[in-house]
Structure 1
């Protein structure tokens, strides 16, 4: 499991390495609502692809080793305690928008500049993805119980429509 302290520790490591990262997934949604609402198996982070060597080096120094390589789409690092970080490399344009490769090469994931926002974890301000971007990424598949929980939070907190009901 990944705790709030773990998340803040990882972000601090990356800041010290001058590497930018934004929280997505469940922790990103909890950051948007300002409180931890469920347990989290991992931490989803989006990072600048040109900073990937610094990201990998900082995490390796903290005991994380690569356990899954699906580059250029994503890769996962895990430490001896079983904490996992799912990393998503982003290529940024001059206007602040970004793209991430997908398993369908003709359809990359798109990140508008406005989706890079901040939230709160354990009273600390953290970089994360916007509610609209989170909803965008939670579509086109059969939702899990965690997805239903997360989308319900976004509906109640931000009054936005999601692609499935809780």
Structure 2
């Protein structure tokens, strides 16, 4: 896999990762998920957040390993990080789907999992290509209950402007 020479993860990198894990259910979250909803890159990104079906984890990991990614952080069952030798990171979040199409992700509080309503799985656009991502409402939901960074403030401003929705900061 040939990565871009710029620091961080750019749109072409995101599409390359999606091509690697084609055939597995994944959704883009975090900053790239917001940029996908907006339809273009609005800021630099240090990593790529990917939600994936828990039962697809083995296949996703095999695909990433074949491209030179290795695990550098393991906070399972909440999340884990795969890093390429050039420093690019993919932050993976395993989801356990329910019969109604919603999903749950483990959280630091075992009795309070992160909830993904069935309607939060949507699509956006990166580099002109339709990609799976989380909805604006889900992004806002996950951006609460902590002191926001400048990146968080930027991302929420993008959602307010594009969708006219209320954010917590």
What are the residue-to-residue correspondences of 1:8-47 with 2, within 5 Å? 8-15=15-22, 18-47=23-52
Question: What residue number does 1:144 align with?
Answer: 149
Match of 1:59 among 61, 64, 74: 64
SS of corresponding position for 2:119: helix
Question: What residue number does 2:12 align with?
Answer: 5
The structural deviation recorded for 1:107 is 0.5
Question: What residue number does 2:97 align with?
Answer: 92
Counterpart-to-counterpart distance in 2, 1:84 and 1:12: 16
Question: What residue number does 2:5 align with?
Answer: none
Question: What residue number does 1:118 align with?
Answer: 123
Superposition TM-score, scaled by structure 1 size = 0.97
**Unaligned runs of at least 5 residues, structure 1:** none
Superposition TM-score, scaled by structure 2 size = 0.95
**Unaligned runs of at least 5 residues, structure 2:** 1-7
Q: How many residues align?
A: 162
The structural deviation recorded for 1:94 is 1.5
CA-based RMSD of the aligned residues comes to 0.4
Counterpart-to-counterpart distance in 1, 2:100 and 2:60: 23
Runs of 4 or more consecutive aligned structure 1 residues displaced over 4 Å after TM superposition:
none
